[in-house]
Amino acid sequence: MLRQADLGDGTYQNPVLYGDYSDPDAIRVGDDYYMISSSFSNAPAIPILHSYDLVNWKVVNYVCRHVPEFRYINPIHGSGVWAPAIRYHDGEYYVFFPMPDEGIYMSKAKDPRGEWSKPVNMMPESGVIDPCPFWDDDGKAYLVTGVAGSRKGYKSVLRMAEMAPDGTHLLTEPEIIYDGRPTENDTIEGPKVYKKDGWYYIFAPAGGVKGGFQVVLRARNIHGPYEYKVVMRQGDSPVNGPHQGAWVDTVTGEDWFLHFQDVYAGGRIVHLQPMSWQDGWPVIGKRKAANATETGQDAVCADAAQAADGTWGEPVMTHAKPCTAKAGACDASGNTVAICEPDTADEFETETLGLQWQWNANDEDGWYEMCPQESVIRLHAVKTNRLRQLPDFRNLLLQKWAAPEFVCETKMNVRDLQVGDMAGIVSLGVTYAGLAVRCCMTDSGVESGVTSGESLMKESGRTAESNGRCYELVQITGRQEFDHQMAFAQSAEQVLALDAAALEAADFEVIWKYRVKIREYKDFIDRKDWQGNEVWIRHVPQEDIVLHMELGGKVVEGSEICIDAQAGRWVGVKNGVFCIHKDQEGEQSARGSVTVDYVRYA
């Protein structure tokens, strides 16, 4: 395991998921917890994670094989599926998810691990985000949403409309039920609706993703008026901007809150906080108050309340695990839940693609085939426009980072590459890099497609010929820029010689290494708040990403690339593999493939 949240002694450490599962929402049905998260333009869309104890999680399914709408056949960074919500109602699981350019969609299933219904655009409106459904005791159903300033031109309001009980359409026009402009609750978003003791509660983060806090609204009438209270701030903890999430309970009567923290390059990672109540308001995390003393921290199944006079909470970093067993046993010996984490490594021994993988855009049949009898996956070279840059290759096969530091080793066989094919590994963020083998003709010259205007550094005799084909090692580095939801990539390529004899001696087997290492920590000004005060984010990890190639057990000289890790468009850095084909201008050539034997992490 790269990182173990369950400490094995009845306690856990945060984050419970060091992975980019942004905007988490979760529910409990019986003894099962299900959590979903944003997936943007990656496919399959909307991962479903399962847990028995809120600490140990596994990805078990996806809501959608593809992002709805045809245009997501291409990567549209920052668009696609934003913060979704999951609910269980009348024997069915419902997922409502926003696509900020298209509207609010709904899909449902009897079994969350099975097939989900085709998504219905139940609220076709641009700029509406962060939906949460609510079924009231009188049978009426409602939908609460946020607003995206990037599409609407304004933000910081929550809206509500009555919807059909089957979730397929709205019955009324949306009304603003809370306006956070201009207050400390500027940028309020991500609402989640609950009901307790006759009160309607809306949990919503405010103040921005990286430097904000958690707010709860409450009212006696679902239409309002709502009063609010800040229920969790960073305080003295290292958890900046404790952001949106989900209130869940246990069968033993405890309350807990799952939320995310934006750690920049690593993405939006998931934390678990104890939750208590005071005077009808929740307090999330450890209570903050003068002379507050913790109680029950070491006790198994301890009450989440840790001080008598606290009024708001700050995130905890370690805590006793939730009491989830019906019998009340929740210590290490009494809890049979296996310690686990979402899969990362893959030996490709199954007939289906592992759930840790997502494509850079909606995939097509024929991109790959599983070969479990050989314990490999075969990636076919997908044809791409010769002007298309690395971040916009449709068939990048990607994973989330699973730790702040790690090494990923990938074994690939490039024997079946054809002229015009290129295959290797990728690191995808605002800064990006790729390291690949390209098959070419001896006199092919320099391929076009470099948008930086820089010449490719290719000299006569630098390619290596084998069996009538030539092979080059291609190093790609670049940066993405975003302008009004449009992404522009600027790349530079360096082409290096490959030794033909060494390639053949290694039976065309290449080892790719991808390493993430924290080099330092820095402080940043995130923004200015509604009163003009600077909001600082402290101790932000600054990571280096290093890629290199090994052949025959030796590092290929000059193959190393080192870049500064920077997150993508509202997503963490991802790493993975690819195999593409670019014809020379005016030429048509056959496409080949590569096999990947394993992907291993340490």
What residues act catalytically? 23, 189
Sheet strands (E) in 485-591: 486-497, 509-528, 534-551, 554-555, 561-564, 574-581
- Which residue type occupies 65? R
Reference 243, options 311, 146, 322; nearest CA is 146
Annotate 267-281 with DSSP letters as a single string.
-EEEEEEEEEEETTE
Strands 243-249 and 192-196: unpaired
Note the Cα 574 to chain centre separation in Å: 9
Structural contact between residues 510 and 549, judged by C-beta atoms closer than 8 angstroms:
yes
Task: Return the HEC string of 175-196.
Answer: EEEEECCCCCCCCCCCCEEEEE
Length of the chain: 602
Say how far apart CA 180 and CA 156 lie, in whole Å. Answer: 5
Structural contact between residues 548 and 561, judged by C-beta atoms closer than 8 angstroms:
yes
In angstroms, the first-to-last Cα distance of the chain is: 8
Reference 379, options 433, 437, 423; nearest CA is 423
Q: Identify the burial level of 30 via C-beta atoms within 10 angstroms of its C-beta, where 0-12 means exposed, 13-18 middle and 19 or more buried.
A: exposed
Reference 269, options 315, 236, 314; nearest CA is 315
Reference 35, options 256, 241, 238; nearest CA is 256
Say how far apart CA 434 and CA 575 lie, in whole Å. Answer: 10
The sign of the torsion formed by the CA atoms of 557, 563, 568, 571 equals: positive
Tokens matching residue 135: 């079924």
Reference 498, options 455, 458, 538, 444; nearest CA is 458
Residue 335's CB is within 10 A of a number of other CB atoms, namely 21
Kind plus residue range of the DSSP H or E element containing 582? none
Query: How many angstroms separate the most distant Cα atoms in the chain?
Result: 79
Annotate 90-114 with DSSP letters as a single string.
TTEEEEEEEETTTEEEEEEESSTTS
Tokens matching residue 413: 């066989």
